[in-house]
Structure 1
Amino acid sequence: MAIVAIDDSDDEKLVLTLSNGDEIELVFEGDCVYAYAGGNEVGEFHFNCYDQPYQHSSETFARLTHAFLEGNNGRYMRQGVGTEAIRFFLRSTGYILELPEDDGIKKDDGSHLVQDGPAFVNSLRRKQGAGLL
């Protein structure tokens, strides 16, 4: 499966159509993006947002703390859904993405990388470095 169409006509919702016809709704709410398939939640992406003073103003950073897409037996993992969820959040907020380090330590904000987390974050780092987020 792969993403074949993206409907971004709603500011708070993004609809992804996959090559098999499945539709994933990404819903922006607070500091999170939730993923739904057929009305059932299949994933969540949580961010810890904070301001960082910069000269005479400040910039807001969004640290990815939780990325979950294991719903429906992980059917939508490795299909680009997670990356689109991150892009949707960044586009909706204008914040700067901060990604967790893979050091095996659970941080105070709850972030730590498990299972496919390290590979997902490494993929995001490459895309961020190439200006693709």
Structure 2
Amino acid sequence: MQAHLYITRPAVQQTYCRAGIDSKMLELVKAVTGLDIYAAADDGLNKQDGSHLTGDKPAFIAAMRG
């Protein structure tokens, strides 16, 4: 099994939403670690590990997935 990073509890203050912070963070983490980054599917369920997507995160993750 290949190592990867799994996003949980992503949070950026509303004031900074759509400022590019999340996408830059993902780019930097991937560049530094060389690991693939995964996020949960948007299934509408709250997960105990905090990996569920809320707010604008479903659209953000969909855009990052291309």
- So what's the TM-score if we normalise by structure 2? 0.84
Secondary structure class of the residue paired with 1:62: strand
Aligned residue in 2 for 1:68: 11
For structure 1, the 5+ residue unaligned runs are 1-51, 53-58, 127-133
Aligned residue in 1 for 2:30: 90
Query: Residues of 1 paired with 2:38 and 2:30: CA distance?
Result: 11
- Offset, 1:81: 1.3
Query: Residues of 2 paired with 1:86 and 1:60: CA distance?
Result: 16
Aligned residue pairs total 66
**Does the alignment pair 1:124 with 2:64?**
yes
Any runs of at least 4 consecutive aligned residues in structure 1 with deviations exceeding 2 A, and if so which? 106-110
Letter in 1 for 2:42: D
**Does the alignment pair 1:115 with 2:58?**
no
Mapping 1:1-133, distance limit 5 Å = 52=1, 59-70=2-13, 74-126=14-66
Query: Residues of 1 paired with 2:42 and 2:23: CA distance?
Result: 18
Structure 1 contact 99–125 (Cα < 8 Å) conserved: no
Structure 2 contact 5–37 (Cα < 8 Å) conserved: yes
Cα RMSD, aligned residues only? 1.4
Query: Which protein is richer in helix relative to its size?
Result: 2
Higher radius of gyration, 1 or 2? 1
For structure 2, the 5+ residue unaligned runs are none
Aligned residue in 2 for 1:16: none
